[in-house]
A and B are shown apart, each in its own frame.
Chain A
Amino acid sequence: MQRIGVFLCSGCGIGEALDVAALERAASEEKAAHRAVHPCLCSPQGVATIRAAIDDGSVDGVLIAACSPRAKVEEFSFDPLKVAVERVSLREQAVWCQPPNHEDTQLLADDLLRMGIAKLAKMSLPVPFTAEISDTVLVVGGGVAGLEAARAAAAAGHPVVLVESSPTLGGRMSGLTHLLPECPPYDVLHPNRIAELVAKVQVDERVTVYTSARIQHIAGQPGQFAVTLTTPQGEKSFMAGAIIQATGARPYDAGRLPHLGWGSSPNVITSAQLDEMLAKGSLQRPGDGALPKRVLFVQCAGSRDPQHLPYCSAECCGTTLRQVATIHQQHPDIETAVVYRDMRTPGQLERFYLAVQSQPHTMLTRGEVERVSGNGRGPLQVHLRESLLGNDITLEADLVVLAVGMVPNAADGEAVRALHDAKVRAEKGDSETQRRDAAALAEQLAHHEGTEILHLEYRQGPDMPVLKYGFPDSHFICFPYETRRTGIYAAGTVRAPMDPPQAAEDGWGAAMKAIQCIEAAKRGAAVHPRAGDLGMPDFFLQRCTQCKRCTEECPFGTLNEDVKGTPQLNPLRCRRCGICMGACPERIISFPDYGVDRISAMIKAMSVPEEFEEKPRIVALMCENDALPALDQAAAQRQQWSPWIRVIPLRCLGSMNIVWIADALSRGIDGLLLVGCKSGDDYQCHYVRGSQLAQTRLGNVQETLTRLALEPERIKVVELSHHEFSRIPQIFNEFSAEIEGLGANPMKGF
């Protein structure tokens, strides 16, 4: 920015602990066009002084040197298209955590101020992004989740295209005679209203339904997805603004459960098969067509089993109880038995469980089924290992129902892409070894062949990446609809194991996210987690070396590649985390208010005393989502720590560019502390892989450091959760002591 206004607050103890006049002089040395000190900058009068300077055009960049960027956000918000704002946290990062009126505290504040001005000087204003945005919501899958999603989006006024691969709508729910109660009375079965829902969607003029249809390909980005379908009426192409994947789940393959009698006796069936029989009113033993006298249900057939599905499929207990009640309705004399490990009937489903339990001819018992034996003749033997009835006992039944779990109908986009790449390498690899290894990998991944569902034209793969256990979501507790593909939301059993009412609810939720994404695209604004951010990434492609790191590392698949490997930006897919910017060795990626040169400028703006004995210097690059709040809370408690540390908040530790480390070390800064969030399977990173990527990048530079005779210990990565504020002083002080132990950075003074 050209005309920087520095607004210093002397309130909240800042004026008593620091020489604010000296800070004002420092601002003047840094060529701030406008300077002001206010005793309470966040008060209406204080904010008015800032507004006045903006309105009379004397400033286009506002530096607020007061409290944390997390405090008084509403007060210090100005039109982002008119003025750039940077916050310097004098209160939390100097005054509250350091002794007042101390030389080191003043130096710290002076550095923070100069660093803020340097960053602001390099910032620019976002350029409003406008593009033609489609209002249409594409819903993939016509089961209950997809139908409800279509209905919800249409109810909010959006055109909807609903694609279903089978000839009819309704999905797995169509085959059910009844449903579990969702409202009183809770102790009886309720009618299945799926046909009404199907009819409602079919007559909705906003919804276009294609059955027996598949996706041929989807190109583009949120607001501008170019979709082509293959339908019985031929190819259909249209634009869509957002996509809901409601492709459901399939029953776990009972063929993998031979120990439960599957395959050896026709009288061992799955719960899905039983539903088919019950729907036709033709309950029978497949072996001889006779009505069974005793039906036994084996719960957790495949679920909660590390050999099969490690998770609980969440609906099977309810399904079995529904089936027991339906059998009882159709044939009151048939005996039913259920062997379960834990009966899982949350909420008011408990009342239905009690009702089924009290039915005559019904036995529900806890036990572990070891095996089911028998053939088509005579009764089946169900061997229990441990049960409430005793150990090693055998129950007889003439029909055994395996309550098989559910497997999401999601393709592993990254695996499909890896398979494709391996096949290309196996063909055209540079060396014999490379071709052989690639062929071996392709063999390993062969089962992903032809599994594509969405057929996305994304460099990172044709479907959403899946996480643990094959579900395509990314933050299933706090933000359950988030995925790693912007504008594409999963709903229903493809997202998580759930029962039909939950899947119905999920359709509405996913529709909400789809509508919201379309609205954000119209404003050129980011969606979650930096919702509303108007700054778009900028790629200075003339200097691109086609290293492809950005296209590989973007957690959201924002970038495609042309044939040469040059990144092709799809700005509406971007979440503004800056991970691409951290990955780029040529430093050609930036945002209006965030960029490699902005942070480099901050590092270059801090003073580095030449005498180490007096003042070592440490830069702490900290994640603004977890580490910075932890620091703020530690400061609010007036915890104290080393005065040598200069904190630079990052959008995500994954946006850390290695050049910052080089900049810092070459300036004689003695150590770098990188504080990110928890990585691994249970990651807490809002951008999925940030701290993990930072660690990988760092691993790559450690060797270089050793070559430069710099101790690798000068750089330390720490994982810190939002609530671990009490660790902040310890982390800072221990690292300061470690750096003191290492001695001065040998580059100091060069």
Chain B
Amino acid sequence: MSAAPQQLPLLVVGAGISGITTALEAAEAGRKVVLVEREPYVGGRITRTHHYFPKMCPPSCGLEINTRRLERNTNVRVCVNAEVTAARRTDTGWSVTLRHQPAYVNELCTACGACSPVCPAEVADPFNLGLARVKAIRLAHGNAWPRRFTLDRAACPAGCRACVDACTYQAIDLDAQAHEETLEVGAVVVTTGWSPYPLEKLPELRGGLDQDVIANVHMERLASPGGPTAGKILRPSDGTAPKRVAFVQCAGSRDVNHLPYCSAVCCLASLKQAVYVKEQLPDAEVTIYYIDRRAPGRNEDVLTRVAAMEGVRLVKGKVGKIARTNGVLKLKVEDVERGVLSEAEADLVVLATGMVSNLKLQAPPFGVLLDEDGFGLPGHDLGLSVAGVARRPEDVAASVRDATGAAARAIAATGRRG
């Protein structure tokens, strides 16, 4: 006999800022929630972001409150290193299969850090988008929650048990196995977020071909104190401070050959990053090449601030090509304002690459209706909704808004508690 829907937990898929929000808002209203995340920590993309616009404040500040809410609320069960592999509708909601990846480091871990120094294997740091190398066993990042180490098992040298021997708390099990679990849930909210549009798809802008042509997401890591350069903005090629930084807007977005839509956050990301550069390197020349400066609502403050900064130029123009000639990065710009084609040089180029819905890359098995770009559409019943960037390109404030509403939909779908 199946349980009444209001007794069943809600399932939230993806624990970025949207998923965390949906889970917490429902849980604090008394509902049981299962929050599933494929990474070993919650927070998603915002953990890699140095500052939020327009307030220029660290995302970890709000995340601190959210992780505290998560760890103190017994209504939420957080499953990291897990994915939904199957789902089917039932009379009361959904029956879903969760696959838990092997827990090589389990909840006995105290994050004491004894394992990392003895680990002989290094890997490219996925948290820092490959800009640094880290030990195969490590804390994924400084504020990682749940606060336990993670092991890149594939990188272990054959037969190595150095970390196991160093751990006093039996927290490491190199032979851990994946396992599956079936859950009955009342409603599903999909908050699977986004991935950056790959640099490699922009070879005309030397994306993926040149170390000093980075994406906006890399700039966030360079500016962050927990990043590969401890917060110093340095050219990846030679570790020097750039004197001329160029931001190329709509790198992929608003382009029928790449992403036909506007990714909605890249203008503000670049304006924000211009502030990072100027605060750290006051003499640097910053140029932002844009089609339109899109800073809706109170975000206009960032544009006003940056436009008034000395040494920052905002140029309406589309960068058509970037080449490296005699060791110098040269940008071919169609300067729409003056109606001329011009050329500019830069030491560091930041491509404002857009957002790709993760539902386009790998949709969980709920049969979410997608538009042609992979954004989830409304129009399902209340038992399945999509929020955050999985729904549409939007910033954190809008994602939190939608994610809160999604929690209300899931509650409405499953009737009232008690």
- Does A associate with B in a complex? yes
**Is the CB–CB distance between A721 and B404 below 8 Å?**
no
Residues of chain A from 511 to 544 with CB closer than 8 A to chain B in the complex? 511-513, 515-516, 519-520, 527-529, 531-532
> Quick check: is B226 within 8 A (CB to CB) of the other chain?
yes
Given A152-B405, A509-B405, A723-B224, is A314 in contact with B111 using a C-beta cutoff of 8 Å?
A: no
Given A156-B411, A350-B262, A684-B61, is A512 in contact with B404 using a C-beta cutoff of 8 Å?
A: yes
Residues of chain A from 469 to 502 with CB closer than 8 A to chain B in the complex? 469, 471, 475-481, 496-498, 502
**Is the CB–CB distance between A478 and B294 below 8 Å?**
no
**Is the CB–CB distance between B298 and A183 below 8 Å?**
no
Question: Which of chain A's residues have a CB closer than 8 A to the CB of B295?
Answer: 312, 344
- Separation of A71 and B109 alpha carbons in the complex (Å): 11
Question: Which of chain B's residues have a CB closer than 8 A to the CB of A478?
Answer: 52, 59, 61-62, 65-66, 396, 400
- Separation of A39 and B112 alpha carbons in the complex (Å): 13
> Quick check: is A311 within 8 A (CB to CB) of the other chain?
yes
**Is the CB–CB distance between B110 and A513 below 8 Å?**
no
Query: Of B91-99, B239-247, B370-378, which binds chain A?
Result: B370-378
Selected from A313, A346, A497, A636, the residue in CB contact (under 8 A) with B111 is A636
Query: Of A72-80, A191-199, A276-284, A420-428, which binds chain B?
Result: A72-80
Selected from A13, A40, A156, A343, the residue in CB contact (under 8 A) with B408 is A156
Question: Which of chain A's residues have a CB closer than 8 A to the CB of B147?
Answer: 71-72
Question: Which of chain B's residues have a CB closer than 8 A to the CB of A71?
Answer: 110-111, 147
Interface centre among A152, A468, A509 (most CB of B within 10 A): A509
Residues of chain A from 365 to 387 with CB closer than 8 A to chain B in the complex? 366
- Separation of A318 and B108 alpha carbons in the complex (Å): 53
**Is the CB–CB distance between A183 and B371 below 8 Å?**
yes
- Separation of A528 and B28 alpha carbons in the complex (Å): 9
B403 to chain A, nearest CB (A): 8
Residues of chain B from 108 to 148 with CB closer than 8 A to chain A in the complex? 108, 110-113, 139, 142-143, 147
- Nearest opposing residue in chain B for A497, CB measure: B297
**Is the CB–CB distance between A366 and B416 below 8 Å?**
no
> Quick check: is B293 within 8 A (CB to CB) of the other chain?
yes
> Quick check: is A682 within 8 A (CB to CB) of the other chain?
yes
- Nearest opposing residue in chain B for A309, CB measure: B300
Question: Which of chain A's residues have a CB closer than 8 A to the CB of B298?
Answer: 311, 468-469, 471, 476, 496-497
Query: Of B68-76, B174-182, B273-281, B320-328, which binds chain A?
Result: B68-76
Question: Which of chain A's residues have a CB closer than 8 A to the CB of B408?
Answer: 152, 155-156, 508-509, 511-512, 515
**Is the CB–CB distance between B112 and A311 below 8 Å?**
no
> Quick check: is A548 within 8 A (CB to CB) of the other chain?
no
Selected from B58, B296, B301, B375, the residue in CB contact (under 8 A) with A721 is B58
**Is the CB–CB distance between B142 and A73 below 8 Å?**
no
Question: Which of chain A's residues have a CB closer than 8 A to the CB of B300?
Answer: 304, 310-312
- Separation of A157 and B139 alpha carbons in the complex (Å): 44
Question: Which of chain A's residues have a CB closer than 8 A to the CB of B377?
Answer: 183-184
> Quick check: is B344 within 8 A (CB to CB) of the other chain?
no
> Quick check: is B304 within 8 A (CB to CB) of the other chain?
yes
- Separation of A496 and B395 alpha carbons in the complex (Å): 14
Question: Which of chain B's residues have a CB closer than 8 A to the CB of A366?
Answer: 316
Given A350-B261, A721-B57, A722-B61, is A509 in contact with B401 using a C-beta cutoff of 8 Å?
A: yes
> Quick check: is B87 within 8 A (CB to CB) of the other chain?
no
**Is the CB–CB distance between B61 and A531 below 8 Å?**
no
Given A155-B412, A531-B28, A629-B64, is A512 in contact with B405 using a C-beta cutoff of 8 Å?
A: yes
> Quick check: is A351 within 8 A (CB to CB) of the other chain?
yes
> Quick check: is B238 within 8 A (CB to CB) of the other chain?
no
- Nearest opposing residue in chain B for A516, CB measure: B29
Selected from A13, A479, A497, A527, the residue in CB contact (under 8 A) with B112 is A13
Contact with A along B77-109 (1 / 0, CB 8 A): 000000000000000000000000000000010
Selected from A42, A311, A532, the residue in CB contact (under 8 A) with B297 is A311
Question: Which of chain A's residues have a CB closer than 8 A to the CB of B292?
Answer: 342-344
Question: Which of chain B's residues have a CB closer than 8 A to the CB of A481?
Answer: 401, 404
Given A350-B254, A636-B113, A723-B60, is A505 in contact with B393 using a C-beta cutoff of 8 Å?
A: no
B66 to chain A, nearest CB (A): 8
Please give the number of chain B residues whose Cβ is less than 8 angstroms from any Cβ of chain A in the complex: 87
- Separation of A39 and B26 alpha carbons in the complex (Å): 38
Question: Which of chain B's residues have a CB closer than 8 A to the CB of A516?
Answer: 25, 28-29
Given A478-B65, A531-B69, A625-B61, is A682 in contact with B55 using a C-beta cutoff of 8 Å?
A: yes
- Nearest opposing residue in chain B for A468, CB measure: B298
> Quick check: is A349 within 8 A (CB to CB) of the other chain?
yes
- Nearest opposing residue in chain A for B58, CB measure: A723
> Quick check: is B342 within 8 A (CB to CB) of the other chain?
no
> Quick check: is A726 within 8 A (CB to CB) of the other chain?
yes
- Nearest opposing residue in chain A for B145, CB measure: A70
> Quick check: is A287 within 8 A (CB to CB) of the other chain?
no
Contact with B along A35-75 (1 / 0, CB 8 A): 00001101100000000000000000000000100111110
Question: Which of chain A's residues have a CB closer than 8 A to the CB of B108?
Answer: 43
Given A350-B254, A508-B409, A722-B64, is A314 in contact with B296 using a C-beta cutoff of 8 Å?
A: yes
- Nearest opposing residue in chain B for A533, CB measure: B72
- Separation of A636 and B142 alpha carbons in the complex (Å): 8
- Separation of A310 and B404 alpha carbons in the complex (Å): 28
> Quick check: is B394 within 8 A (CB to CB) of the other chain?
yes
> Quick check: is A617 within 8 A (CB to CB) of the other chain?
no
Given A156-B416, A342-B292, is A625 in contact with B404 using a C-beta cutoff of 8 Å?
A: no
- Nearest opposing residue in chain A for B59, CB measure: A478
Selected from A12, A310, A511, A519, the residue in CB contact (under 8 A) with B301 is A310
**Is the CB–CB distance between A520 and B28 below 8 Å?**
yes
> Quick check: is A297 within 8 A (CB to CB) of the other chain?
no
Given A496-B297, A723-B226, is A348 in contact with B411 using a C-beta cutoff of 8 Å?
A: no
Selected from B110, B225, B264, B411, the residue in CB contact (under 8 A) with A347 is B264
Residues of chain A from 337 to 365 with CB closer than 8 A to chain B in the complex? 342-351
> Quick check: is B234 within 8 A (CB to CB) of the other chain?
no
> Quick check: is A119 within 8 A (CB to CB) of the other chain?
no
**Is the CB–CB distance between B110 and A40 below 8 Å?**
yes
Given A43-B169, A532-B28, A684-B57, is A77 in contact with B72 using a C-beta cutoff of 8 Å?
A: yes
> Quick check: is B209 within 8 A (CB to CB) of the other chain?
no
B223 to chain A, nearest CB (A): 10
> Quick check: is A633 within 8 A (CB to CB) of the other chain?
yes
Contact with A along B295-314 (1 / 0, CB 8 A): 11111110010000000000
Question: Which of chain A's residues have a CB closer than 8 A to the CB of B58?
Answer: 721-723
**Is the CB–CB distance between A11 and B110 below 8 Å?**
yes
Selected from A152, A512, A684, A721, the residue in CB contact (under 8 A) with B29 is A512
> Quick check: is A178 within 8 A (CB to CB) of the other chain?
no
**Is the CB–CB distance between B143 and A477 below 8 Å?**
no
A496 to chain B, nearest CB (A): 6
- Separation of A475 and B50 alpha carbons in the complex (Å): 18
Question: Which of chain A's residues have a CB closer than 8 A to the CB of B60?
Answer: 629, 722-723
Question: Which of chain A's residues have a CB closer than 8 A to the CB of B396?
Answer: 477-478
Selected from B69, B110, B400, the residue in CB contact (under 8 A) with A42 is B110
**Is the CB–CB distance between A40 and B404 below 8 Å?**
no
Residues of chain B having any CB pair with chain A under 8 Å = 24-26, 28-30, 50, 52, 55-62, 64-66, 68-69, 71-73, 108, 110-113, 139, 142-143, 147, 168-169, 224-226, 230-231, 254, 260-264, 292-301, 304, 316, 336-337, 371-373, 375, 377-379, 382, 392-394, 396-398, 400-402, 404-409, 411-412, 415-416
Give me 14 A-to-B residue pairs in the complex whose CB atoms sit less than 8 angstroms apart, sorted by A's number: A40-B110, A152-B405, A311-B298, A312-B300, A348-B373, A476-B298, A477-B55, A480-B400, A496-B397, A497-B296, A625-B64, A626-B64, A636-B111, A723-B226
Residues of chain A having any CB pair with chain B under 8 Å = 11-13, 39-40, 42-43, 67, 70-74, 77, 152, 155-157, 182-184, 186, 304, 306, 310-314, 342-351, 366, 388, 468-469, 471, 475-481, 496-498, 502, 505-513, 515-516, 519-520, 527-529, 531-532, 625-626, 629, 633, 636-637, 677-678, 682, 684, 686, 721-726
Taking A344-B295, A507-B405 as known contacts, 5 extra A-B pairs with beta carbons closer than 8 A to each other, sorted by chain A number, are A182-B378, A312-B297, A347-B394, A480-B404, A721-B57
What are the nearest 6 A-B pairs in CB distance? A478-B62, A508-B405, A157-B416, A155-B412, A509-B404, A346-B264
